[in-house]
Chain A
Amino acid sequence: MAESRTTINEPAESGYRVDMRGITKSFEGVKALCDVQLQVKPGEIHALVGENGAGKSTLIRVLSGVHIPDSGEIRINGRPVILHGPKDGIMAGVSVIYQEFALVQHLSVAENILLDEFRDRSFVNWKAMRRKAKELLENIGFGNIDVTARVGDLTVAYQQVVEICKALTRNASILVLDEPTAVMTNREVEQLFKLLLNLREKGVSIIYVSHRLDEIFEICDRITVLKDGQYVTTVDKNAIDKNQLVSLMIGRDLSSFFPPRSCEIGEVVLTAEHIRAGNAVHDISFEVREGEILGLSGLVGAGRTECIRAILGIDKLDGGSVTLCGRRIRIGSAKEAYKSGIGFLPEDRKNQGVLLRRPIYQNITLSCQKAISRFGWIQKKKEKPIVEKYIDELAIKLASPQNNVESLSGGNQQKVAIAKMLAADSRVLFLDEPTRGVDVGAKIEIFKIINELVSRKYAVVMVSSEMTEIIGMCDRAVVIRDGRSVGELQKDELTELNIIHYAMGVKSNGTEE
């Protein structure tokens, strides 16, 4: 075992530690990656950038063995490898540090670092374990971390250090960091960078996935850009500036993907002002009119979903005001939201949008129990027309409404979730990532449904991480960054460049705001 590891760790003749070529991967007919390549040298920090949905995560999962590519070749240290699972990835020296750490929060630092090594022993030599953990941390310059401390009590940066240290004990020569600084303070980021530079000196290859362009330019050596599941280019960071990088990430043609729509925009229906909630939402304001689609744009984690949940009273609203049709209201729960005519389509369809293991018809009428019953008894003759109406209007493709929702495709499941929201007679709709996880055909159908709704004077607030969707669908968009609404773009100002500049805080001259 040890021998094979040492051979793996030797750099290849080609000079690349990681060499992925022609990687293609589809999910249920949707191409997530198409002929993508990635080459990383030993002792290099290599940035992987692209918009949400560009295929970064899929590529990482392919490299770590979570996904098996449909075609393409992966060479590690010049030798072709076939990774059938995360274990194979770890054996090949690939360690991925995800945003949600895989650490055991209530165990000590030492236990976490050496979990694998000590698991198979009957008795634990605590002293030896602590000494070894201490050594390992000192090796990477973090001897100051208390190895007996509970991991849950450490700062996020130190947790990350522990996670990296753990990866190194498994002889990781390729370290992948997925948005490592998303929840870190500046000081913590410094600590992390110190560690990464230290590891680079030691010859570790680091793949760094991040949206934060300044960080990328600060720490990375080369940058690979992905767009819509395709490889764009790999450039040296000194050969490019921020604006050029941004235009590499976007700038695809907006196809005639979005069905046309003509409708009159009416009065303001709902106003949200200075919404504040939890750690994610600091100051978000927007308004939406009758017959209008308002986009809430921004990076994943900017606080869009959290903002909606606070407005609808699902999570606690710490500050700010909500006005509906001129009346100031305070919504305490999703129930009250529905009562005041506000519908909500959650982003997580499987866990929040539908009841997978209940029949389709029961899902559709879930939010209108009063309308289908008399004295609590369900009236088939009231329920059936409602179910049939929405199956027909939304063109839900199904074998029988008696079947469970899990028998449907993703797109049709989403239509059921939309039907459920509409059946409650809501006039203001909050759609959180309405096309997540559905194929292109279903996306277009969902867009058509949304267009139909606004033409009937519904007011729609749509959260989407896909900029093309915001640009193609919305009449107006508010961009959110770090829990604040930082800009409003009218229809004619809606371009990817404008959105990304607000969303990432980059001004047109390429500097950080």
Chain B
Amino acid sequence: MELKNREKEAAAAKSAISVRGMSLSTFLIRYNAIIILVLLVVVAASLSDLFLSRTNIFTLLRQQVPYLIIGMGMLMVVITGGIDLSVSSIAAVSSIMVAYSMTKWGLAAGGANTWATIAIGVGIGAVFGAVNGFLVAKLRMPAFIVTLATMYAGEGLAYIITKGNTLMLDNKSGGYADLVGFSTGTTIFGIPYAVIFAAVIVIIFYFVMKYTTFGRMVYAIGSNESAVQLAGINSKKHLFFVYLLSGILCGIAGVIITARSGNASALTAGVDYNMSTIAGVVIGGASLMGGEGKVVMTVIGVFIIAIIGNIMNLINLASYPQMVVKAAVIVLAVLLKSLSSKKHG
């Protein structure tokens, strides 16, 4: 009994602090990702002079373009309380179809042809997203199973289309110049086009999630879907669009992946886009139970994962140990989150 009273008093004291403004502990818990990011930058800079060099920073940013774009879709899906495991596979098939349409269908002349290949890549993403959305939203299947299945099917398709080979773009074609030119091109201060493009997408999503009815419904559905439905809202439609958008974003990422390297292979399906974006979203404070998550914090989460990788590269850690370290960091971040959410109900 005594103990309970003490607990109550402690709780009352806590709420008294937070009434006046955000207490330090609340800040630490809510925005721990920012602190982790700052610490990582400090660590990275002290480990290697190269880290803060212009080249390294732009390389880092450029590498993160597909992660950021896919991460926005993942964030939305996670906010609704779902998950999208199929992102790597969708991006792979999209990337492959861009290369395939240029090498096998002759859409390599540049200009309008390039736009057509982009449309094909993005369209592939949309088809996958629509399938996910239909199964999850309309047929009420668990997102985990649905996207696990499309992940598997997508990877299979990627190998079927490429027959296991790498599709190389003809580096003298107009299409190659268009795509790779976009990917490697830079603008003022040497900022890559691709990075600006990703930033624009992030900014659009920031506003969509904050200032549109759609964004608000995404949060509402994740918070309590049956209440949303009973309030006279077609939650299924919104949920469908969330998965559709996630697919489209993966399609866009697929185009950029092909543009960056000038080739496409099924190995893209095995890249850690799903792992790293889910981790980024969660490290950024989103709850896998839905209803919570922020665009800016997701960007920070994605960069936390990226910088950890970057640091390990700078200190010449091999890639397999890197995976283990990354996994440990993710578990740690989620643990931190579950500990803090327990404290705060």
Contacts and interface: CB of A to CB of B under 8 A. Distances in A.
A354 interface: yes
Nearest to B219: A358
A373 interface: yes
Residue among B213, B233, B234, B291 with the most chain A CB within 10 A?
Answer: B213
A367 B223 contact: no
Chief secondary structure at chain B's binding surface: helix
B220 interface: yes
Contact of B232 (A339, A353, A354): A339
Contacts of B231: 334, 338, 366-367, 420, 424
Q: Report, as a range, how many residues of chain A touch the other chain.
A: 20 to 34
A367 B216 CA distance: 12
A257 B214 CA distance: 44
A337 B232 contact: yes
B217 interface: yes
Contact of A334 (B211, B216, B232): B232
B206 to A, nearest CB: 13
Nearest to A376: B212
Contacts of A335: 229, 232-234
A339 B233 CA distance: 10
B230 A354 contact: no
Contacts of A367: 231-233
A369 interface: yes
Nearest to B19: A399
Residue among A338, A366, A367 with the most chain B CB within 10 A?
Answer: A366
B232 A355 contact: no
Given A334-B232, A367-B232, A355 B223 contact: yes
B8 to A, nearest CB: 14
Given A355-B228, A366-B231, A367-B232, A378 B213 contact: yes
Contacts of B223: 355-358
Contacts of A373: 212-213
Interface string B213-242: 110110110011011111111100000000
Interface of A: 314, 333-335, 337-339, 344, 346, 351-358, 362, 366-367, 369, 372-373, 376-378, 420, 424
18 contacts: A334-B230, A334-B231, A335-B233, A338-B231, A338-B232, A339-B232, A351-B227, A355-B220, A355-B223, A355-B224, A358-B219, A366-B231, A366-B233, A369-B216, A373-B213, A377-B212, A377-B213, A378-B216
B2 to A, nearest CB: 14
A369 B227 CA distance: 15
Interface of B: 211-214, 216-217, 219-220, 223-224, 226-234, 291-292
Nearest to B224: A355
A377 B208 CA distance: 8
A203 to B, nearest CB: 35
Residue among B212, B219, B223 with the most chain A CB within 10 A?
Answer: B223
Nearest to B213: A369
A369 B214 CA distance: 9
Contact of A353 (B227, B233, B234, B291): B227
Given A376-B213, A378-B216, A366 B228 contact: yes
Contact of A369 (B211, B229, B233): B233
B211 A378 contact: yes
A362 B233 contact: no
Given A337-B232, A344-B230, 12 more contacts: A314-B229, A314-B230, A338-B231, A346-B230, A352-B224, A355-B220, A357-B292, A358-B219, A366-B220, A367-B232, A369-B233, A377-B211
A330 B212 CA distance: 31
B305 to A, nearest CB: 27
Contacts of A314: 229-230
A166 to B, nearest CB: 31
Nearest to A336: B232
Contacts of B220: 355, 358, 362, 366
